[in-house]
Amino acid sequence: MTFRERLQAWRYNLVPDHLVGEILTKRWTDNAIPFLALVATLGVFGSIIPGFFKLTSLQESTRQLGEFSLVVIGMTVVMLGGGIDLSVGSIFALSCFSAVYVFFILEQSIWLALAAALATGLVFGAINGYLVGYLRLRAFLTTLVTFIFGRALFDILVSSYAADIQLSQASSEVLDFIGDGTFWGLSVSVWLATILAIVTHIALTRSRLGWHVLAVGGSRRSAHNAGIRVRRTVFMTYVFSGFCSSIGGFLIACRLSGAGPGTGLNLEIMALTAAVVGGVSLGGGRGSVVKGLMGAIIVLTMTNGLIRLGYGTGTNQMVLGILLAVAVTIDIRWLKNRHKVLNEVYVAPVYLKMGETQSAAPGSGTSYELDNRLSAADHIGLGELEGPEDVILDRDDHLYCGTRHGEIVRFFAPDYVKSEVFAHIGGFPLGLAFDKEGNLISCVGAMGLYSVSPEREVKRLSAETSRSWTSIVDDARLRDPNDCDIAPDGRIYFTDSTKRYDAHDWALDSIENRATGRLLVYDPKDGSTKTLLDGYRYTNGVCMAHDGKSLFFAESWACRVHRYWLEGPRAGRAECVIRDMPGYPDNINRASDGNYWMAWLGMRTPSFDLSLRHPDMRKRMTRRLPQDEWLFPNINTGGVVKFNEKGGIVETLGDLSGNAHPMVTSMREHKGYLFVGGILNNRIGRYKIAGADPNWTGPTSYWGAKP
């Protein structure tokens, strides 16, 4: 290994470049910009203002924050539903007045005042909601007008009753507590805002109504067509906003013990700014309560901070304007370009030096030497099938295969002309196996492990395994379940080829060549799924050894076959039995003579082998070249290899014509014939094996003669 290669190996195998891409795939990175802004704002003002973080100071200064946050939560929900509520300031003020009126003028209890405030907010919100939701008026214009209406009403009420409020002697300990007291170190308004924020967050992310709101905001038309009651949902968002604002109004009534002409003035623009700075998008669909809250804290800290520092009129607006422009621009650019960035950085190739291999060229004289036997295979379902990755036959000689359309197709014996859709699962059914009861078990790409009963009942067995602590991508989900086989005790062993790419992006996984393939086991007894082995380069075919004590599995991009011991002294361990093959191994199945069939989905090329030693080049390639010009494994040639228990190669079959079976992903021996499938093929081949046992079948081999 040259020094350059050693450097490359260190650089690309030790530096975890892939984490950057994985972090970027996380939804929470949406919050990155507002969060950074929040930290920066708190940091700056916290360091300039002496005693900013002092508890008593925070207790007082966060009272207003609590009220404001409540309003912002309401505004956020309305915006998520695709609307806007400019009347929050008016609702806030009117609710404040209602509370003050009931408490100070009617001299009723504080709870009645709260009820009055809430009723005011709910009624006002319902009016907005009725107009915007049911009458479908334009939100901006409508709430603008109701805002002016509410404000005028409030001003009239305040000026008429101001004198009476001053003369009132009403007082209440509860009111003083809500306005001045603290509970566990925090003011009532902060508690209320926190509770409401948590409830709203859970409702939005985990309840039907919340999903409806997001759906309506995301696409009103689609939501309508999907049967969501759009009008009612929109109505509810405004009622909620009214509710939130009214609590805010009640709190300020308690805090200031009165209402003045300035109550809630400019609140709508502040709340809108907060929501936007936090990253809630106008027009709906994107955003969260957390974002709204971050925005609220940023805006309020800035405004009050600048006033506290004694800056004059205008400085506030100037800084706020800059902040808004910068935050929104970065946020929008970030959102727009995140996918581009992600595409740029997600593929993080590693260095690998493939071992020297024997030639598979015809006439080379090695055991891997390809011949032209498979070109003579008969075809089944030619032109009807798309992508039979795996094929399997049952005890009645019927032939099953998966297709690109998510179906399992059955061809009827004996001539395999007639066919039917046996079951529709979805995804891309890949590996197939029959269990003892005759259920067809399938690894469905992008979905998980499924079982289809003889009565065609589809059942999901497993779609996830336990999550590993160190992984950033969610590796609990099965991304690319590839092949499975069943042990005598009924446990299903299967592979999940990669944690980092979806099934259809297998070429990217080959270019990256990162070892993230896994071997898993599903236990039908308790329905659990466990990860047995991790860290292989694209685990693929699985085949139970004839004695049922070990299994073979293929590691495609490393061109190796491993044996995993289920019992015996080496139980739980894997050993490499075939290494440095000239082809990329796919499915492995039993042969009638005690050996094993293995498919080659493609052949190694010196150029790609070389590129594996140049991760930088592969990285540049994926960034700068269009996909169809990428260098990736040659899948235009493949073949079928027979190997024995010890890993020795017995023979190799190929199709040099390239017409029938240029690449092979699976093959199954049945009564003297070899049935050949290919994920990119449009047929299943049937090849008569010279000298094979004409009575041998898979189900018998696995589960004995027909009971």
- Of residues 71 through 110, those in contact with another protein by CB under 8 A are 82-84
Which residue, 218 or 406, is less far from another protein as judged by CB? 218
Binds another protein by CB under 8 A, chosen from 108, 182, 304, 366 = 304
Q: Should residue 530 be labelled a site residue for another protein when binding is judged by CB under 8 A?
A: no
Amino acid identity of residue 635, one-letter, is I
Which residues make Cβ contacts (< 8 Å) with residue 217, sequence separation at least 6? 79, 80, 81, 82, 283, 284, 285
Task: Report the first-to-last Cα separation within the chain, whole angstroms.
Answer: 59
Binds another protein by CB under 8 A, chosen from 3, 27, 166, 227 = 166
List the interface residues with another protein, window 207-236 (CB under 8 A).
219-221, 224, 230
Q: Should residue 46 be labelled a site residue for another protein when binding is judged by CB under 8 A?
A: no
Give the three-class secondary structure for 545.
coil
Strands (E), 55-153: none
Query: d(Cα 468, Cα 464) in Å, to the nearest integer?
Result: 12
DSSP-derived secondary structure letter, 54: -
Taking CB under 8 A as the binding criterion, the range among 239-247, 280-288, 346-354, 606-614 that sits at the site for another protein is 280-288
Q: For the sheet containing 419-424, what is the strand order?
A: 391-393, 399-402, 407-411, 419-424
Which residue, 285 or 583, is less far from another protein as judged by CB? 285
Q: Should residue 70 be labelled a site residue for another protein when binding is judged by CB under 8 A?
A: no
Q: Measured from the CB of residue 106, what is the shortest distance to another protein in angstroms?
A: 17
Binds another protein by CB under 8 A, chosen from 9, 32, 49, 656 = 49
Q: Measured from the CB of residue 108, what is the shortest distance to another protein in angstroms?
A: 19
Taking CB under 8 A as the binding criterion, the range among 261-269, 352-360, 431-439, 660-668 that sits at the site for another protein is 261-269
Dihedral of CA 421/426/432/434: which sign? Answer: negative
Q: Should residue 171 be labelled a site residue for another protein when binding is judged by CB under 8 A?
A: no
DSSP-derived secondary structure letter, 290: H
95 conformational bin, left if phi > 0, alpha if psi -120 to 50, beta if neither: alpha
Give the three-class secondary structure for 363.
coil
At CA 109, angle to CA 107 and CA 113, rounded to 5?
Answer: 90
Q: Should residue 120 be labelled a site residue for another protein when binding is judged by CB under 8 A?
A: no
Q: Cα 75 from chain centroid?
A: 27
Residue 551 tokens, joined: 């299994």
Q: For the sheet containing 684-688, what is the strand order?
A: 378-380, 684-688, 673-677, 666-670
Beta bridge partners of 604: none
List the interface residues with another protein, window 179-198 (CB under 8 A).
179-180
Q: Measured from the CB of residue 83, what is the shortest distance to another protein in angstroms?
A: 6
Q: Should residue 60 be labelled a site residue for another protein when binding is judged by CB under 8 A?
A: yes
Binds another protein by CB under 8 A, chosen from 24, 77, 99, 151 = 151
Strands (E), 282-417: 378-380, 391-393, 399-402, 407-411
Which residue, 161 or 696, is less far from another protein as judged by CB? 161
Contact assessment for residue 298 and residue 68, using Cβ atoms and an 8 Å cutoff:
no
Q: Should residue 388 be labelled a site residue for another protein when binding is judged by CB under 8 A?
A: no
Residue count of the chain? 707
Q: Should residue 333 be labelled a site residue for another protein when binding is judged by CB under 8 A?
A: yes
Q: Measured from the CB of residue 322, what is the shortest distance to another protein in angstroms?
A: 6
Q: Should residue 47 be labelled a site residue for another protein when binding is judged by CB under 8 A?
A: no
Binds another protein by CB under 8 A, chosen from 38, 122, 272, 473 = 272
Cis omega (within 30 of 0) on the bond before 414?
A: yes
Q: Should residue 340 be labelled a site residue for another protein when binding is judged by CB under 8 A?
A: no
Which residues make Cβ contacts (< 8 Å) with residue 653, sequence separation at least 6? 370, 371, 373, 374, 639, 640, 641, 642, 674, 687
Binds another protein by CB under 8 A, chosen from 47, 205, 207, 315 = 315
DSSP-derived secondary structure letter, 132: I
Which residue, 158 or 543, is less far from another protein as judged by CB? 158
Taking CB under 8 A as the binding criterion, the range among 281-289, 365-373, 424-432, 543-551 that sits at the site for another protein is 281-289
Q: Should residue 265 be labelled a site residue for another protein when binding is judged by CB under 8 A?
A: yes
Binds another protein by CB under 8 A, chosen from 205, 207, 329, 468 = 329
Taking CB under 8 A as the binding criterion, the range among 140-148, 206-214, 422-430, 560-568 that sits at the site for another protein is 140-148
Which residue, 314 or 414, is less far from another protein as judged by CB? 314
326 conformational bin, left if phi > 0, alpha if psi -120 to 50, beta if neither: alpha
Q: Measured from the CB of residue 344, what is the shortest distance to another protein in angstroms?
A: 19
Q: Measured from the CB of residue 315, what is the shortest distance to another protein in angstroms?
A: 4
Residue 182 to residues 63, 188, 196: CA-CA distances in angstroms? 10, 6, 18
Binds another protein by CB under 8 A, chosen from 36, 325, 376, 625 = 325
Which residue, 310 or 606, is less far from another protein as judged by CB? 310
Closest CA to 291 of 592, 484, 69: 69
Q: Should residue 571 be labelled a site residue for another protein when binding is judged by CB under 8 A?
A: no
Q: Measured from the CB of residue 272, what is the shortest distance to another protein in angstroms?
A: 7
Q: How many residues bind another protein (CB under 8 A)?
A: 91
Q: Should residue 336 be labelled a site residue for another protein when binding is judged by CB under 8 A?
A: yes
